[in-house]
Chain A
Amino acid sequence: MDFFSSTWFMQGVWHPLQTPAHLILVVALGVLIGQHGQRLRVILLVFAILLTMGFVIKQMVTFNLNKELIIVVLALISSVLIILRLTLPSTIIFLLTLLSGILLGLDSSPIFIPGMGESSRNNWLLGTSVSFYLSLTLMMLISTLLNKYWNGIILRVLGSWIATSAIFVLTLMLVKH
């Protein structure tokens, strides 16, 4: 039995990029963290730990939560904070990172195929973790750089785009419920 499967790993890598709700949360969170530029390494570590915790909890407990709805709400909150560009206490950034990490972990799992081995699932989760982590780091670094130019306007415009999409989709979700 292969210990490492590149197919499952790459499918996991694609997961955050194929799931728009996850993608906008990672982008919004990355931009928000980069905009504040404080304790980046600690925040990344918190995110990685909470994401893994989310994966583990998902295996043990089943939640009847509409996780996608909460993820879009978190993206909306993060994007509004980006637009307002307030000086936030690091506790709020940590809290948002914590919630985002755990919810993204809880909402990520490979499509179940009968006879699917444990190693395939683990490879998929590894790919997803790497992808989430790299995407968040990339967004943080890009926004840290962009924050220094034109008073960070580009980031605020990006925040308004994410907020708009989140409002549209939240309305649609609430109407459907």
Chain B
Amino acid sequence: MQMIKKHLTALLLITIIILPSLTFAHSDIASLQGGFSSGFMHPILGLDHVVAMVAVGLWGVFLGRPAIWILPIIFPLVMAFGGALGVVGVPISGIEIGIALSGVLLGLAVAFAFTPPLWVAAIIVGAFAIFHGHAHGTELPNATGPLIYSLGFVTGTGLLHLLGITFGELTRWPWGSKVVRIGGATIACIGAAFLLQAL
């Protein structure tokens, strides 16, 4: 362990020494940064996506281990399946309704501290992930660098889950549990507003 830490420090030092000599104005780097940041911002700029992703993290906390980390792993993997359908051009009707419903139902699950068996939670989260993935997937062929774009939005999605998990950690305190459940109710309300818009 001590040896690994020593090696890691040495490598980080080498990286720090090399990095300043590299020019960030390089056009390829700029385009990569552009691709990553546009993918990264895609789930973050859409409030309907944001509330659903945060709700997945919050629900994971209520469900406890191992759900707290299984749900954020299942979500992107099933999202990839939905995305593949979007890339291929398989139409799924009611994408916007599905995304809005994910906010409503996941928000309600948090608000009522609903704790079903893990497999039920995984199916619910997975089903909604298909809608979110399809929405990302239809935009992927237009991206200049699809791989870096997809890395960006997967990272953005993951960080939103992490945000939910972090906020959900408030449940360690008795007052925190109420705050988190109010957060869930707020998410459900936002989802309902999107649902009304989509209908």
Give residues in A with beta carbon < 8 Å to B: 10, 13-14, 18, 20-21, 24, 72, 83, 134, 137-138, 141-142, 144-145, 148, 150, 153, 156-157, 159-161, 163-165, 167-169, 171-172, 175
Contacts of A175 in B (CB 8 A): 87-89, 141
Cβ contacts A to B, 5 pairs, < 8 Å: A14-B26, A18-B32, A72-B147, A138-B15, A167-B77
Partner of B84, one of A148, A161, A167: A167
A168, B84: Cβ atoms closer than 8 Å? yes
Q: A18-B29, A172-B141, A175-B88 are in contact. Are A160 and B11 (CB under 8 A)?
A: no
Contact with A145, one of B4, B28, B136 (Cβ below 8 angstroms)? B4
**Do the beta carbons of A169 and B15 come within 8 Å of each other?**
no
Known: A167-B83, A168-B137. A24 touches B151 (CB 8 A): yes
A172-B87 in contact (CB<8A): yes
Q: Render B20-35 as a binary contact track against A, CB cut-off 8 A, 1 for contact.
A: 0110001011001000
Nearest CB in chain A: distance from B28 CB, A: 5
**Which of B11, B69, B148 contacts A156 (CB under 8 A)?**
B69
Cβ contact within 8 Å between A169 and B4: no
**Cβ contact within 8 Å between A168 and B32:** no
Query: Which bracket fits the contact residues of B?
Result: 35 or more
A160 in contact with B76 (CB, 8 Å) = yes
Contacts of B63 in A (CB 8 A): none
Q: Tell whether A144 pairs with B4 under 8 Å between CB atoms, given A10-B22, A18-B29, A175-B87.
A: yes
Q: Is there an interface contact between B146 and A161, defined as CB atoms closer than 8 Å?
A: no
B144 to chain A, nearest CB (A): 11
Q: How far is the CB of B80 from chain A (nearest CB, A)?
A: 4
Minimal Cβ-Cβ distance residue in A for B23? A10
Q: Which residue of A lies closest to B8 (CB)?
A: A141
* Complex contact B73–A160 (CB within 8 A): yes
A133 to chain B, nearest CB (A): 10
Within 8 Å by CB of A157, from B29, B32, B72, B81, lies B72
State whether A171 and B154 are in contact (beta carbons under 8 Å apart), knowing that A14-B26, A156-B69 are contacts in the complex: no
Chain A residue nearest to B72 (CB atoms) is A157
Q: Specify which of B21, B26, B29, B87 is in contact with A168 (CB 8 Å cutoff).
A: B87
Q: Which of A13, A14, A83 contacts B29 (CB 8 A)?
A: A14
CA distance A150 to B69 in the complex (A): 10
B29 engages A138 (CB within 8 Å): no
Contact string against A for B residues 60-79, beta-carbon threshold 8 Å, 1 for contact and 0 otherwise: 00000000010011001101
Q: CB distance A164 to B28 under 8 Å?
A: no
